[in-house]
């Protein structure tokens, strides 16, 4: 297993705890009281993804058709084939352009993501409690190279560290003759830890107990998954093998990536316990900050802007 898998998990830990009001772990402060420190992302000269990259889905456990569609449409919003005109501003496509700027500074061509294959394991062939090794085994069911393989676990599937220290993670397969793939794992937190991994669509476990926001796709678990998936996908693109772009603060075992450095920030004016100023759909009352493919609306995390060394939001 790639050595970076553990550090990616630790970075994802920061996201989980920030969502439960432990925002100090991600270096966040009340902006009205303390000036935010610069977040200086450094390129560590490692390999980055480039060229055509297939994003393959491994659905582990029982997902409904609407749940799969909401997540697939989010990934579709990031692909090279997604028509920009179909995503009114602010859009997922514009949000993803922040990751493109990282590649401009590295002089590596930005990868062209495309939708790949779907594999469904509804009966949970590896059981309903998974280890890190199991996640890699599942990820290997996708393409062996030039791929990001997404392992998506259902609400009744437990994964080591899920809820306790992370909402998702990313890593890479070992080098082999057939090539190497990157992978992302995200779990559905609806029944296990919505207060940790689905905030702000659920009340947090700790901190101020403000009313939760209405999720844009009508599913607390899936909309929470999209937040984690967005964070891990950007981490995969900008730091696929552990030696790409990251910001070192404190422990050498927990580098912060483009999204995890901004954990808990979704709109302007965000502070611990408050997601920031967001858009509200007049028909459903749902909160969002990005329009996606096929008329979808999503909530995506702020990303570190290389030009300003600060967390950039869409709204």
Q: Where are the domains of the chain?
A: 41-308
Backbone region of residue 136 per phi and psi (left: phi > 0; alpha: psi in -120 to 50; beta: other values): alpha
Contact 26, 256 (CB under 8 A): yes
At 303 the pLDDT is 98
- Strands (E) across the chain are located at 42-43, 52-60, 112-121, 129-130, 147-153, 158-159, 168-172, 182-187, 245-246, 279-280, 287-288, 290-291, 297-298, 303-305, 310-312
User: In 3-state terms, what secondary structure has residue 10?
Assistant: helix
Radius of gyration of the chain (CA): 18
Helices and strands in the chain, H and E counts: 6, 15
Contact 92, 291 (CB under 8 A): yes
At 245 the pLDDT is 96
At 208 the pLDDT is 77
At 107 the pLDDT is 85
At 173 the pLDDT is 97
| Other beta carbons within 10 Å of 308 | 10
- pTM metric for this prediction: 0.89
At 210 the pLDDT is 84
Question: pLDDT in tens for each of the 315 residues of the chain?
Answer: 333 444 444 444 444 434 332 222 222 223 333 456 899 999 999 999 999 999 999 999 999 999 999 999 999 999 977 766 679 999 999 999 999 999 998 889 999 999 999 999 999 999 999 999 999 999 999 999 999 999 999 999 999 999 999 999 999 999 888 889 999 999 999 999 999 999 999 999 887 788 999 999 999 999 999 999 999 999 999 999 999 999 987 555 678 999 999 999 999 999 989 999 999 999 999 999 999 999 999 999 999 999 999 999 999
> d(Cα 208, Cα 259) in Å, to the nearest integer?
23
């Amino acid at each position: 297993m790639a050595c970076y898998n553990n550090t990616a998990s630790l970075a994802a830990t920061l996201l989980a705890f920030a969502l439960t009001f432990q925002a100090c772990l991600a270096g966040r402060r009340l902006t009205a009281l303390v000036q935010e420190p610069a977040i200086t992302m450094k390129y560590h000269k490692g390999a980055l993804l480039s060229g055509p990259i297939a994003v393959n889905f491994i659905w582990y456990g029982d997902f409904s058709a609407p749940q799969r569609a909401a997540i697939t449409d989010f990934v579709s919003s990031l692909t090279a084939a997604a028509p920009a005109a179909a995503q009114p501003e602010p859009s997922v496509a514009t949000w993803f352009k922040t990751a493109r700027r990282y590649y401009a500074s590295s002089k590596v061509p930005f990868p062209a993501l495309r939708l790949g294959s779907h594999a469904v394991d509804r009966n949970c062939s590896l059981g309903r409690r998974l280890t890190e090794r199991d996640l890699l085994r599942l990820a290997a069911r996708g393409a062996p190279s030039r791929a990001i393989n997404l392992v998506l676990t259902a609400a009744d599937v437990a994964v080591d560290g899920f809820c306790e220290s992370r909402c998702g993670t990313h890593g890479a397969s070992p080098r082999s003759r057939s090539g190497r793939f990157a992978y992302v794992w995200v779990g559905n937190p609806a029944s296990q830890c919505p207060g940790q991994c689905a905030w702000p669509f659920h009340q947090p476990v700790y901190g101020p107990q403000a009313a939760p926001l209405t999720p844009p796709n009508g599913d607390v678990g899936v909309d929470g998954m999209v937040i984690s998936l967005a964070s891990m996908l950007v981490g995969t693109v900008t730091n696929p093998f552990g030696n790409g772009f990251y910001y070192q603060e404190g422990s050498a075992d927990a580098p912060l990536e483009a999204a995890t450095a901004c954990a808990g920030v979704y709109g302007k004016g965000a502070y611990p316990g408050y997601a920031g100023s967001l858009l509200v759909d007049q028909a459903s009352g749902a909160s969002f900050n990005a329009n996606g493919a096929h008329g979808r609306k999503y909530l995506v995390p702020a990303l570190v802007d290389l030009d300003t060394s600060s967390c950039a939001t869409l709204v």
